[in-house]
């Protein structure tokens, strides 16, 4: 009895697999694949645009931070020169 059951399951699985394979190769399925891929590409482009904007913003922040540090270092150096001149 179990051998008949195993054979029936094998035949059913093979038929189901063949039917599934044919469905995956159908024109309708191909249209779904194309539209899904197109949506994924649009999403990728949107994400890359946002990443580029974020990178540019980070670059601006870094440049301003460096400029602030340079100004503070220059002010500290000028202050130390004034103190040295007064000490003499």
57 confidence band (pLDDT: 50, 70, 90): very high
Residue 87 has pLDDT above 80, yes or no: no
Region 34-59: mean pLDDT is: 95
Query: CA 16, CA 19: separation in Å to the nearest integer?
Result: 5
Q: Which long-range contacts (CB under 8 A, 24 or more apart) does 68-72 make?
A: none
Note the pLDDT of residue 88: 57
* Contacts (Cβ under 8 Å, ≥6 apart) of 23: 29
pTM as predicted: 0.51
Place of tokens 């990443």: 51
């Amino acid at each position: 009895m179990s051998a008949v059951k195993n054979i029936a399951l094998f035949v059913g699985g093979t038929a189901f697999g063949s039917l599934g394979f044919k469905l995956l190769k159908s024109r309708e399925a191909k249209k779904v694949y194309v539209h899904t891929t197109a949506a994924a590409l649009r999403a990728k482009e949107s994400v890359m645009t946002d990443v580029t904007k974020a990178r540019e913003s980070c670059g601006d922040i870094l440049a301003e931070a460096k400029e602030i540090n340079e100004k503070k270092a220059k002010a500290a150096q000028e202050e130390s020169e004034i103190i040295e001149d007064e000490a003499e």
